[in-house]
Amino acid sequence: MTLFSAAAQQALADFQSCDQWEQRARLLLQWGTQLEELPKALQTPDNLVHGCETRVWLVLDSQSEPARFQLASEARLLRGLLAVLLARIDGLDAQQIAAIDIADWFQQLGLSRQLSPSRSNGLNAVLQRMQLLLKHNPANNNQQM
């Protein structure tokens, strides 16, 4: 059985309490507003995630302990999806993040049926980029995220 952080448990509780897609969509928009703003100076081509139809910027803040990610997107629903992805990886180390089944996570939230193949591919690209950034982060070699 997978253990979830408090943030992931909250996401599960919030989304599983919704009966219809419209409720989940409103909830996604609310979750998206909780994403910390990524400064415009960090919204650069180097921080773009390739494989997303909509522009998504991803930065690993390795100065904080534990290390954490910052994300930005111009698409409101995508911001919500990114926020629940961040909730899922909260407190996990690089190896645990690599083991995440992102399709299963969104299915548990009741969101998988509304994810187009291109959006699913984009979310997988975000997760893969997270894994790559963690792998190349020297601070991650000795500590958990």
Active-site positions?
52
Count CB-CB contacts under 10 A for residue 65: 9
Reading phi first (left if > 0) and then psi (alpha if -120 to 50, else beta), residue 29 is in alpha
∠ Cα 62 68 73 (to 5°): 115
Angle between helices 21-33 and 6-16 (to 10 degrees): 150
Bridge partners (DSSP) listed for residue 61 = 68
Question: Cα separation of 65 and 114, whole Å?
Answer: 35
Helix (H) or strand (E) holding 15, with range, is: helix 6-16
- Residue found under tokens 């100076």: 41
